[in-house]
Structure 1
Amino acid sequence: MVQSSNEKNNSRQYLDGQLDENIAVIKKILGNSADLIIRKSRIGRLNHPFALIYIKGLINEDLLNKNILKILELNRKHIHSNLFDHVYEEIIAIAEINRSKEMKQVIKTLLAGDTVFLLEGESEAALIGTSGMEYRALEEPQSESVIRGSRVGFIENFKINLSLIRQEIKDPNLRVDMMEVGTHSNQKIAICYIDGVVREDLLQEVLRRVKTIDIDFAPDSGFIEQWIEDNLLSPFPQILDTERPDRVAFNILRGKIAIIVEGSPFALLMPITFGDSLKSIEDYNQRWLISSLLRLLRLFSFYMTIFLPALYVALISYHPELIPAQLLFTITAAREGIPFPSLIEALILVFFYEVLQEAGTRLPYKISQTIGIVGGIVIGQLAVMAGIVTPIMVIVISLTAICAFTIPNYSFAIGLRIVRLATIFAAAILGLYGIILVFIMIYVHLANLKSIGVPYTQSFSPGNLWTLENIVVRAPITVLSKRSFQPFLKSNRKKKDGGSVK
């Protein structure tokens, strides 16, 4: 059966010397899209036809006009021989320029926002780096604010995000491995690490997992995180997400691996341990006594977030004898007329708090502040006056919410909501015994959890107890400057005199 000319054009893998046919194939593949711009002209003494092809909106038009079109126009009569080579090597004033004969590479270049130069009689194209979409300016990260530290966060521009990491780490051993994900989106992802510092087995495992990704589109790094994490059912994140370049740089130097996804302002860090989710990069900018106090406060808040509502339910329902007599009289008096048991009362307020937090997240910033004030104060007070909940329960849930806000990582904090509900139900069924049972189950789960094959509680294992100086508290910076405290390094090498390698 003979193929039609359109079928042949559509299946062509390489360019040929006929300019019009090459343009026709490109149009056919891209569906003759309205934003596909083809600029034809002539060059050289023999007026050879050429074409510049690009997609409007994806390129930097200033760069195209000044560094390509204008220069080609000025030199159109001064080229004698080897026309394509002369244009490629001397005329086009762009640093990023390549050449290819493959139609697939030409299409990929166009979709990436670059420009293709085709010349009549040449079966090769010049691929010119002119991508330059408009992006928001660099600004302070919204999810990881600090008092003392850098005010720069990642944005949606892939190249700028990589340059921010390069700016932080001026090390020739910094490696950036490029890969693509997304069957239709063909998004770039960069895997960043320090050669000679990262453990080779961890790097190969990350590369293996990334290569297994099979999705159409990954609009955010969260898609990559969910695909490559170890345990899909765990409420605890096994990969850390961050908007801060300084945090990425710090962790890369600790032997971790970072993944930057095109179009996402969040980088991924791996592997991590339990303590990493309770750390803030600001801890290293403050004096060690202050940072240690803040870390202990976060650890205390972690337990309060999970167990405080459950502890109240257990004491009221099963163990009132453990409450001081005066406080018990106050609570009993407050509960007179309340139609619900403590479990239902707790669930009503927890549900109200979750809805309020979700509404505040989705609304514009100024409106969300109003919602927080109206919801937290007015509705809470009205619920007490209506006899639906007790004032002490409002205090307990409010304190729980405040404790949750002290945890630096949002993904970790939001996962604690599930654990909190489990402890409330366990307390309602078995009292303090239920809380103890859930406590044991949490630690058994954490002991079995892994992040890219690394135990989640590695820092608490008997052989690594020295790392607690950087988890429970933050030791003086002169101690932490030694590489011996890094758990993910390729090797904890020692000097001949027994000192640590810095």
Structure 2
Amino acid sequence: MIFRKLKKSRINQDQQNEKQQDLLTSDLDQNLQVLRSLYKDCLDVVFRPFLIGGLIKAELIYIEGLSNVLEMDTHVLSPLMRETKGEQSNLTEWVEEKVSVSNVKEARTFADCIEHISIGNPVLLVERESRGLALGLAQWEKRSIEEPTSESVVKGPREGFTEALGVNTSLLRRRLRSPQLKMKSVKIGRYTQTQMVIAYMEGIADKTLIEEVMNRMQRIEIDGILDSGYIEEMMEDFPFSPFPQIMSTERPDTSVASLLEGRVVILVDGSPFALIAPTTLFSFLQSSEDYYQRFVLSSAIRWLRYLFVVLSLLLPSIYVAVLSYHQEMVPTKLILSMAASREAVPFPALVEALIMEITFEALREAGVRLPKQIGAAVSIVGALVIGQAAIQAGLVSAPMVMVVALTGIASFTIPRYNFGASIRLLRFPMILLAGTLGLLGVMLGLLVILTHLCTLRSFGVPYLSPMAPMKEQDMKDVLVRAPWWALNTRPHLTGKYNQYRQEPYQKPDPKKGGETD
């Protein structure tokens, strides 16, 4: 019975798709009959009949709430209903001349009509004409440009992407005013028909990289795309890896910087997150603010960030391993103090660490999901109250609470949320290895992670590049951030590339004045 229903549904869908691919005819009533059948039970779809010059039948089809009705009345209906047609042979061309709309496109099939109507462009059908006119009068509510919440900076631009694709492309175009910025459009989603834009810099990005991105996107066949996360998950080289292989960002400046390095930026209609490919491990540990501050401060903060990433992954596991198997590594006074604090705790260090880590992750998730007005208060108060109550009840020790708190703070220093989530996920198997094998288990886990990182690729680019394989020329922006006058070359990603990004010998020298070597 179920298979019969599925087969019948599939047959109806195929018939509907075939109907959409049919060409428009010169019979207006027949065209309207097909469109009305396709939009059956669609309350928001409006069919507005009128007469051109009081003689010729026409129909304007649009979706209420997606089209600018005021502009439609002023620049379409009013001039056409008042004008009288002369001796022009082509009625559609005459109508196109009379309509004072800048963006007018032809629609020759029912699929074209549906596409334009769905994005808010009204379609005008005229009697005895086998083609319609799609009028660029789309208008819908959209969020204004705001500061990105997930990538806040102290010094730098405050603009962030929105859910409107046109706004996002304009933010890129406003920063990159060169015609070498190319944008290709792709539509994915059987029902959503989500429009996507692949942006790249011609002459900088490798052509094979652009072709590979296009091929991977065109292979996607799915009912709908609601966010860029769908595309990210379906384009990765290693889908079962815990590490992200495509970087997402809300910041236009980060996207433009990636374009100038030869990467590809993917914008998805309805999503405020742009995807950047290819990417490397070190890209996830770099903040856009690193390039807006003086290089000495940026390099120091970057080293601090690297240190806390290591602590976020290893601190709980090292604590469990040392406390369970390697007490001789701890100074005598410190181990006596830790033993005294754990005297009333009934659980071993492994169970204690797992309890505290799971509780901390639950509090973090609760703080994210709760309304903003109470989310931060609940997470902070909850951590303080639960931690203090757990210590007084003898369920956990004070050193363990401190270790978990330091680990949580360390995880907050990671600039990219998805990479930080990967580190948080790997923390649990590392704790289990430390609780069963001690420091040997920690080293074993690190070797497995490093081996996996060495095998990862992001669109053919090694994940640990430029450190493995070593590229000395690209190391200027990895462990430290070299000054801008020393960053003469772009990172080498794949294939041929435009190597030089600026003229050499631009180091400031007051003695030379405006002269250069």
TM exceeding 0.5:
yes
2:27 aligned partner, one-letter code? Q
Question: In the alignment, what sits opposite 1:193?
Answer: 200
Residue 489 of structure 1: CA displacement?
7.4
Q: Distance in 2 between matches of 1:60 and 1:406?
A: 46
Inter-partner Cα distance in structure 2 for 1:133 and 1:330: 64
CA drift at 1:162:
0.9
Q: How far apart are residue 100 of structure 1 and its match?
A: 2.5
Structure 2 matches for 1:197-208, cutoff 5 A? 197-208=204-215
Q: Which amino acid aligns with 2:415?
A: P
Provide the secondary structure at the position in 2 that maps to 1:42: strand
Moved beyond 6 Å, runs of 4+:
6-9, 497-500
Partner of 1:308, secondary structure, is helix
The aligned counterpart of 1:255 is 262
Tell me the equivalent position of 2:74: 66
Distance (Å, rounded) in 1 between the aligned partners of 2:209 and 2:362:
40
Change (3 A) 1:484 1:220: closer
Partner-residue secondary structure (3-state), 2:297 = helix
CA distance in 2: counterparts of 1:299 and 1:238, whole angstroms:
19
Q: What is the letter of the counterpart of residue 491 of structure 1?
A: Y
Amino acid at match of 1:121: R
Q: Retained in 2: the 8 A contact 1:27–1:33?
A: no
Give the aligned residue type for 2:489. Answer: R
The answer to whether the 8 A contact 2:27-2:129 is kept is yes
Q: 1:55-454 maps to which residues of 2 (within 5 A)? A: 55-73=63-81, 75-77=82-84, 79-81=86-88, 82-88=90-96, 90-454=97-461
Residue among 4, 17, 24 paired with 1:15: 24
Q: What displacement does 1:12 show?
A: 7.1
Task: Tell me the distance in 1 between the aligned counterparts of 2:422 and 2:17.
Answer: 54
TM-superposed CA distance for 1:79, in Å, is 5.0
**Counterparts in 2 of 1:11 and 1:60: CA distance versus 1, 3 Å:** closer
TM-score of the superposed pair, with normalisation by structure 1: 0.94
Q: CA deviation at 1:468?
A: 2.2
Distance of 1:103 and 1:170 partners within structure 2 = 37
1:36: which partner in 2? 45
Out of 55, 71, 87, the position equivalent to 1:47 is 55
Structure 1 equivalent of residue 496 of structure 2? 490
Give 1:132 deviation, angstroms.
1.3
2:411/2:424 contact within 8 Å kept: no
Change in Cα spacing, 1:308 to 1:11, as seen in structure 2 (3 Å) is closer
Residues 1:47 and 1:32: Cα distance change in structure 2 (over 3 Å) = farther
Q: Structure 1's 127 and 11: CA in aligned 2 closer, same or farther, altered over 3 A?
A: closer
Q: Which moved more, 1:269-278 or 1:483-492?
A: 483-492
Larger RCO: Structure 1 or Structure 2 (Cα < 8 Å, ≥ 6 residues apart)?
Answer: 1
The answer on whether the counterparts of 2:206 and 2:262 sit within 8 Å (CA) in structure 1 is: yes
Which one is further off, 305-314 or 361-370? 361-370
Q: Percent identity?
A: 37
Q: Do the aligned partners of 1:255 and 1:488 also contact (CA within 8 Å) in 2? A: no
Say which SS state the counterpart of residue 61 (structure 2) adopts. Answer: strand
Cα distance change on mapping 1:150 and 1:341 into 2, 3 Å: same
What do you get for the CA RMSD once the two structures are aligned?
A: 2.1
TM-score calculated relative to the size of structure 2: 0.91
Using the TM superposition, give the Cα deviation of residue 134 of structure 1 relative to its aligned residue in structure 2, in angstroms.
0.2
- The answer on whether the counterparts of 2:183 and 2:200 sit within 8 Å (CA) in structure 1 is yes
Q: How many residues align?
A: 490
CA contact (8 A) 2:290 2:298 kept: yes
Partner of 1:3: none
**Residue 111 of structure 1: how far off its partner (Å):** 1.4
C-alpha distance in 1 between matches for 2:322 and 2:187: 55
Q: Deviations over 1:385-434 (max 9, x none)?
A: 11000111000000000000000000000011221111101111111111
Hey, what's the Cα distance between the residues in 2 that align with 1:405 and 1:264? 24
The answer as to whether partners of 1:254 and 1:488 remain within 8 angstroms in 2 is no
Report the secondary structure of 2:466's partner residue.
helix
Q: Report the alpha carbon displacement of residue 76 of structure 1 after superposing the two structures with TM.
A: 2.2
Q: CA deviation at 1:465?
A: 2.7
Distance in 2 (CA, whole Å) between partners of 1:9 and 1:407 is: 50
Moved more, 460-469 or 126-135: 460-469
1:269 partner SS: strand
* 321-330 vs 223-232, which moves further: 321-330
Q: Deviations over 1:9-47 (max 9, x none)?
A: 957711112222211110111225211101111113x61
Q: Which amino acid aligns with 1:31?
A: K
Change (3 A) 1:8 1:395: closer
Compute the displacement of 1:469 (Å): 1.8
**Amino acid paired to 2:458:** S
Q: Report how far residue 61 of structure 1 moved.
A: 2.3
Cα distance in 2 between the residues matched to 1:260 and 1:381: 46
The alpha-carbon distance between structure 1 residues 332 and 55, as it changes in their structure 2 partners (threshold 3 A), is: same
Structure 1 gap segments, 5+ residues each: 1-5
Distance 1:72 1:259, change over 3 A: same
CA contact 1:196–1:490 (8 Å) conserved in 2: no
The structural deviation recorded for 1:373 is 2.0
Residue by residue, what CA displacement relative to the aligned partner does 1:354-401 show, whole Å, maximum 9, x if unpaired?
111111111111110121122111111111111000111000000000
Whichever residue aligns with residue 368 of structure 2, its letter is T
Are the counterparts in 1 of residues 255 and 274 from structure 2 also a CA contact under 8 Å? yes
Q: Secondary structure at the match of 1:370?
A: helix
| C-alpha distance after superposition, 1:28-76 (max 9, x if no partner) | 11225211101111113x6111111101122222332333223334x42
In the aligned structure 2, how far is the partner of 1:110 from the partner of 1:247? 34
Q: Is the contact between residue 163 and residue 271 of structure 2 (CA under 8 Å) also seen in structure 1?
A: yes
- Cα distance in 2, alignment partners of residues 189 and 439 from structure 1: 39
